[in-house]
Structure 1
């Protein structure tokens, strides 16, 4: 059996804050020359079934999610994301926590819109919900409303300090990170820390926390990512080697919400095979 060569393990669809539907995403992945793509929408598995149904020949789908987490060992607590691969979506404890986080994300979005409206900014929560298309609502959907209103030109500007990055930013109710690792493992999944040293995104957690997470069941670290500079990538690789963790690379593709393209960064076959071997939830889906 041939080993897949081009593997992108972090993408988003309209089930969360991407701009391609799950069906469009898997077709775009095939067109981009990928052999394997992971669908990792924020805190949801809603895109899994339509992605499987539309899977083009020659492409393997890894079903996953990007889980919103928080580490409470700093003040204020530091948000971080876990990529969870091949977990059982019916496992009740993880499913309940993901549903809770989705509700909290939607409530936060509505509160942000109310703050904007109180300042006379013409955005509509109903319009934002419609734009989300039934997917998990996030700040990128509010950013699109600001763009449509002509208040900002780009998503990047919308996430600047005058808008969603600071002035209109509210915390959301995430999952405590050690609990998240335990929940993913209990659901047969494989947890990988997304962009762990991306300092351009804000505060990052210390290496000591990553070592503790590895002892608690964390399987890997995402090293090759557009928000890691070369030094950060090398640091992540060294840390993974020290801790015996696998290393991934991926695009974190969001469609037109970001400029990065599918397959811009990829995962090596050895790491991919380790993820598949560790998984006890669901299996990769291959199209002939």
Structure 2
């Protein structure tokens, strides 16, 4: 059973539409895929519709609805994966909207900073790249690639350009991770800390924070991820075992925006079953996900 619990669509900063993501996940031989766009559930309806249209496929695909939440702890950004929550729960919905609403002013500030640095980027260019998606740094990074300023999107996430604290970086509204856990739990969801030791992206929270987050109700840690080397994965597994946390794996797929394939890393079926057992806000679609 192949389970990928972290992917993105055009509802945030991926390049596949939600329907394309479903079709591509099926082609990749996945049994389960989670759609976890940044601070957004806008892609869920389209993904579910695509899943329903493909329900007679030879190998059924199960969708896990979710989101990747933007958080900040002691000045360090971190991402929280939230699964199978009630997307209509008012308090959590309002919190996600606050984060999303800050994306456009933040992006405009970064475009302004880049222009001051001599980059001939325009707001119109960035808006075209983003389309109807929740606008974010990857769209600006894509513009830098188009302009030949950097070779790849990943190259834009450095101190020289858009990395945390970089020359063109701008702060944004982000959730306190302890509050994020509370909100997700209140909406019946499950929380997993995304790529917590992805040091190539910038500063990461110290391991000492994991115990505090676990005490607050964190369910798991994303261990198997392209930005975690072998020794890092081994250390994270040990920490998770110490704290009684689940360990997941996923691709963090963004379509053509990043060079990673669906199913590049996967989650153990027993862990997936435990995630679905803990959730009460939503069910996997269309499978029961181990609830039986």
TM-score by length of 2: 0.92
CA distance in 2, matches of 1:253, 1:242: 29
**How far apart are 1:215 and its partner, in Å?**
1.1
Matched, 1:34 2:33: no
Matched, 1:8 2:4: yes
Aligned to 2:244: 244
**How far apart are 1:159 and its partner, in Å?**
2.1
1:99 pairs with 87, 97, 100, which one?
A: 97
**How far apart are 1:239 and its partner, in Å?**
1.1
Aligned to 2:17: 21
**Any unmatched runs of 5+ in structure 2?**
288-292
1:3-29 deviation per Cα after TM superposition (whole angstroms, max 9, x unaligned): xx0000000001001111100001000
**How far apart are 1:257 and its partner, in Å?**
1.2
Matched, 1:197 2:211: no
1:244-264 deviation per Cα after TM superposition (whole angstroms, max 9, x unaligned): 111100000011111111000
Are the equivalent residues in 1 in contact too, given 2:198–2:228 (CA < 8 A)? yes
Tell which deviates more after alignment, 121-130 or 58-67. 121-130
SS of the equivalent of 1:98 reads helix
Are the equivalent residues in 2 in contact too, given 1:66–1:81 (CA < 8 A)? yes
| Structure 2 CA distance for partners of 1:261 and 1:120, relative to 1, 3 Å | same
SS of the equivalent of 1:28 reads helix
CA distance in 2, matches of 1:162, 1:279: 41
SS of the equivalent of 1:45 reads coil
Aligned to 2:119: 121
Matched, 1:235 2:235: yes
CA RMSD in angstroms comes to 1.4
| Structure 2 CA distance for partners of 1:222 and 1:174, relative to 1, 3 Å | same
Are the equivalent residues in 2 in contact too, given 1:65–1:85 (CA < 8 A)? yes
SS of the equivalent of 2:161 reads coil
SS of the equivalent of 2:102 reads helix
CA distance in 2, matches of 1:53, 1:262: 20
CA distance in 1, matches of 2:201, 2:118: 29
1:23-73 deviation per Cα after TM superposition (whole angstroms, max 9, x unaligned): 00010000000000000000000000000011133000000000000112x
Aligned to 2:63: 61
Are the equivalent residues in 2 in contact too, given 1:198–1:232 (CA < 8 A)? no
Aligned to 2:267: 267
Runs of 4+ in 1 over 6 A off after TM superposition: none
SS of the equivalent of 2:195 reads coil
1:190-225 deviation per Cα after TM superposition (whole angstroms, max 9, x unaligned): 000001122222222222211111111100110000
Matches for 1:138-287 after TM superposition, within 5 Å:
138-165=136-163, 166-286=166-286
**Any unmatched runs of 5+ in structure 1?**
none
